A and B are shown apart, each in its own frame.
Chain A
């Protein structure tokens, strides 16, 4: 069983709609959670991070964390074609310095 799981997609989203991405993790002691966006052939770039239960908003992006359910999500509002990319969920494990990434969810925003 993978320790950080994401739906691989592709997740097809009409332009202007909300994209909802999910991530579950297995280590209950995990400390922080990061969402990265990766365009094809490029390196990952940070979208946002969250470490407290609840919601965190940054522009069109909202991260949600539920530690009891070991679940973190990312909402992209008003999706744009430029949001078409693979989104990686990253988890900082209790042994600080050790990260685990999900395999990523491919998002395709259709005009």
Chain B
């Protein structure tokens, strides 16, 4: 089954404790992206990648890191999480092309205390 898998689905942690949210897709997609969703603000793009070893900033990259060492994986790293990073996070992937829809993972709900 074609899917984007995120882990963990839920995480409660404390300020400053490094964490990684994994994202993996099995559709051989070149493009992957991370979003955060907050009430009233919709989805905001954090980082995206158009291929292995190629990453670019979205609208809200501060406080986040990503890497794309393999085509299928695109982890999101919070090196020193803060409470304002409490949010619902989605990973998405698509084929390259201006008319390609993104396939979203099920989301990761992060709470930073």
Contact = CB atoms under 8 A, between A and B. Distances in A.
Interface residues of A, number: 24
B48 A97 contact: yes
A92 B58 CA distance: 12
A32 B90 contact: no
Interface residues of B, number: 23
Contacts, number: 59
B98 A92 contact: yes
Contacts of B40: 8, 103
Interface in A8-42: 8, 31-32, 34, 42
B89 to A, nearest CB: 11
B41 A98 contact: no
Interface string B71-103: 000000000000000000010000000110110
Interface of A: 4, 8, 31-32, 34, 42-46, 49, 51, 88, 90, 92, 96-104
6 interchain residue pairs of minimum CB distance: A103-B42, A43-B104, A101-B43, A46-B101, A101-B42, A32-B98
